[in-house]
Amino acid sequence: MERVYANRKFIVIGLFLVIGLAYVIRLFFIQIVADKYVLSANNNVLRYITQYPARGLVYDRYGKLLVYNEAAYDLMVIPKQVKNVDTAELCRLLEIEKKDFVERVEKARNYSPYRPSIFESQITRENYGYLEEKMFRFPGFFVQPRTLRKYTYPIAAHTFGYIGEAGPEVIEINPYYKSGDYIGISGVEKSYEEQLRGKKGMKIRVVDVLNRDKGSFQGGKYDTIAYTGTDLYSSLDADLQAYGEQLMAGKKGSIVAIEPSTGEILCIITSPSYDPNLLVGRIRRTNYTKLLEDSIMVPLFNRALMASYPPGSTFKVVDALVGQQVGVLTPETRYFCPGGFPLGNGKKVACHSHFSPLDLRQSIQHSCNTYYCRVFKSIIDKRPFTSTRAGYEIWRNLVMSLGFGHKFGIDIPGELNGNIPSSNYYDRYHGKNRWTSMAIISLGIGQGEIGITPLQMANLAALISNRGFYYTPHIIKAIGKKDNLNKEFLVKHVCGIDPQYFPIVVEAMHDVMEAGGTGFASRVDGIEICGKTGTAQNPHGKNHSIFISFAPKDNPRIAVAVVVENAGFGATYAAPIATLMIEKYINREVKRKDVEQSMISGNLLNKGKVIDQ
């Protein structure tokens, strides 16, 4: 019996020896081998500073710097370490009330008592200088460097967009972002966020009980490097963009200019606009609220991509192409105009005075409403189309192949489809199989339910100048290097109209400018411009002035669309502005100073800047 208990004694001793050896090995591993545990043990004297990379720069097509970075600083707080802080002095330096101090510390504590969070963001270099001298009086606080976006010129606010703090919904789905990180909110900043943001790094610093920096932890062994964001080379012409914004001052509307051979956007102007520097730094929130609350000017609304207008008579070139394609129209087709197109019951679609009858080329030159009501009716009612609906679907599909009724996929967020109504829409409105071409005749002259964005109008001009194809309009032409072209936008889109039908339309648009047509007053000596005026009916006020154009007629370099809201005829404002833009781009100077001054001084809003800058 004693021998049995003796054996158990050895088992118990052995068990204790094994457990003790395990503890010794574990302690040796923790204290000698695994540095990460040493790191964890010293957390109370270590400060983890995120190294925010500078965002990539943005240049214009000629290499001018448009968007760059400026040093700024965030005041960070670790709530657990906030002890014996000179609250009055900190509040004075930051120009905040004591109650704000208490609320911010409590908010940070709710986020995490041990992890740093932003107490005051985007402190300027000047204010940081005053703060830095007194940081020893604020235990638990430290300053973290970062950068702010700055804009060389006060232009293209909607295109560049702005950055802001990443919200909880972003942080939840994207582990790259943490509380206090910035992200592109709109414009190019949003579209190219992954390229522009770079890659964050981390520095670990040792601090004493007085919050003083004592140097790198273990010589920077655990530090990681931040990598600067990728630079972007835009297609914008900064001078042309600035000039267009000058011309549109005091007006509502848009200018879009495209290089037809590439789809590169030369300028994209929305008016009213604002200085992009207004949405940078600590003033961003206040200024954004002011811009958002301006319900009259609506400066945050990107009209170039989101506003949908009836194209008016500019749409006649579309029906001229579609009519030829379906075989109801030839260059020799003539229609008599008795001053309008009869609708019955004594009503008619009115037309202005011109000689009659007109052939196809002359119908565009003189913008005859009667002619295009008849062309549209002949398309929809053509045999062997089995019904109005079938004819309409043929017309609609060809129109949409020209870039209407859908998004292009431009590299700026917010683009809208515009509207080319479906057959189902008219079925619901009129009753299935109960509508005829006469019920929708206004579509033939670009009115009714049609909605076209200024971007789509400019692309139409580019497509016609190319005689039947276009490239997706885009802002960023190269990424990282000037010759590293954005391959996403190198695909050619061919429309549903045969190239043989474009020359007559091109010649007619040239006649609009050079042969006494509706745009004759806006011609430019030495530049062969092709254009088409439009006056879009506006049920809520004065008509909109619209003009599409390209130049030169052969080997075109620029296609332009202009919309000026509530400005009357297309020839009154839109045509002069468009041709000034063409003259500026091709000649790099404007000689028609009287026209230029008239457009610049034309204030249709009777209101100054949205926000004083």
Is 69 part of a structural domain of the chain?
A: yes
Average the pLDDT over 540-545 and give the result: 89
282 CB-near residues (< 8 Å, 6+ apart): 121, 122, 123
- SS3 string of 340-408? EEEEECCEEEECCCCCCCECHHHHHHCCCHHHHHHHHHHHHCCCCCCCHHHHHHHHHHHHHHCCCCCCC
Q: How many CA atoms lie within 13 A of 349 on its CB side?
A: 24
Is 338 part of a structural domain of the chain?
A: yes
How far apart are the C-alpha atoms of 56 and 70, rounded to whole Å? 12
CATH of the domain at 107: 3.90.1310.10
Q: Burial of 359 by CB count in 10 Å (0-12 exposed, 13-18 middle, 19+ buried)?
A: middle
Q: How many CA atoms lie within 13 A of 251 on its CB side?
A: 28
Q: Is 117 helix (H, G, I), strand (E, B) or coil?
A: strand
Shared domain for 96 and 185, answered yes or no, is yes
* pLDDT at residue 609, rounded to an integer: 39
Q: Say if residue 539's pLDDT is above 80.
A: no
440-459 pLDDT, tens digit each: 999 999 999 999 999 999 99
- The angle subtended at Cα 536 by Cα 155 and Cα 273, nearest 5°, is 15
Type of residue numbered 494: V
Q: 456 or 612, which is more confident?
A: 456
Q: Say if residue 17's pLDDT is above 80.
A: no
Shared domain for 179 and 267, answered yes or no, is no
CB 437 within 8 A of CB 536: no
**Tokens representing 519?**
């745009």
Q: How confident is the model at residue 30 (pLDDT cuts 50, 70, 90)?
A: low
H/E run at residue 184: strand 182-184
Q: How confident is the model at residue 280 (pLDDT cuts 50, 70, 90)?
A: confident
Shared domain for 254 and 329, answered yes or no, is yes
pTM for the whole structure: 0.87
Is 479 part of a structural domain of the chain?
A: yes
101-143 pLDDT, tens digit each: 999 999 999 988 888 888 988 888 778 888 888 888 898 898 8
Beta strands in 495-606 (DSSP E): 530-536, 544-551, 558-564
282-328 pLDDT, tens digit each: 788 889 999 999 988 999 999 999 999 999 999 999 999 999 999 99
Q: Say if residue 254's pLDDT is above 90.
A: yes
DSSP string, 126-175: HHHHHHHTTGGGSTTEEEEEEEEEEESSS--HHHH--EEEPPHHHHHH-T
CB 160 within 8 A of CB 273: no
475-514 pLDDT, tens digit each: 999 999 998 988 889 999 999 999 999 999 999 999 999 9
Is 458 part of a structural domain of the chain?
A: yes
Q: Is 51 helix (H, G, I), strand (E, B) or coil?
A: strand
Shared domain for 260 and 168, answered yes or no, is no
How far apart are the C-alpha atoms of 316 and 312, rounded to whole Å? 8
* pLDDT at residue 41, rounded to an integer: 46
Is 33 part of a structural domain of the chain?
A: no
Alpha-helix runs per DSSP H in 29-113: 35-41, 87-94, 98-111
Placement of tokens 């330096």 in the chain: 93
Shared domain for 136 and 253, answered yes or no, is no
Shared domain for 194 and 243, answered yes or no, is no
346-388 pLDDT, tens digit each: 889 999 889 999 999 999 999 999 999 999 999 999 877 778 8
DSSP state of 319: H
* pLDDT at residue 129, rounded to an integer: 83
Average the pLDDT over 515-529 and give the result: 95
Domain boundary among 186, 207, 234: 234
* pLDDT at residue 16, rounded to an integer: 67
Q: Say if residue 557's pLDDT is above 50.
A: yes
Task: Provide the pairing of β-strand 530-536 with 492-494.
Answer: unpaired
Angle between helices 502-514 and 454-465 (to 10 degrees): 110
Is 221 part of a structural domain of the chain?
A: no
Placement of tokens 């990598």 in the chain: 227
Domain boundary among 188, 216, 234: 234
Domain boundary among 215, 234, 253: 234
How far apart are the C-alpha atoms of 114 and 298, rounded to whole Å? 44
Is 242 part of a structural domain of the chain?
A: yes
Domain carrying residue 60:
53-198+228-234
CB atoms within 10 A of CB 63: 9
Q: Say if residue 555's pLDDT is above 80.
A: yes
Shared domain for 185 and 308, answered yes or no, is no
Shared domain for 192 and 251, answered yes or no, is no
Q: How confident is the model at residue 613 (pLDDT cuts 50, 70, 90)?
A: very low
Shared domain for 185 and 253, answered yes or no, is no
Number of domains the chain is built from: 2
CATH of the domain at 480: 3.40.710.10
Shared domain for 379 and 453, answered yes or no, is yes
Q: 556 or 213, which is more confident?
A: 556
Placement of tokens 């001009």 in the chain: 461
Shared domain for 111 and 184, answered yes or no, is yes
Q: How many CA atoms lie within 13 A of 146 on its CB side?
A: 26
Is 70 part of a structural domain of the chain?
A: yes
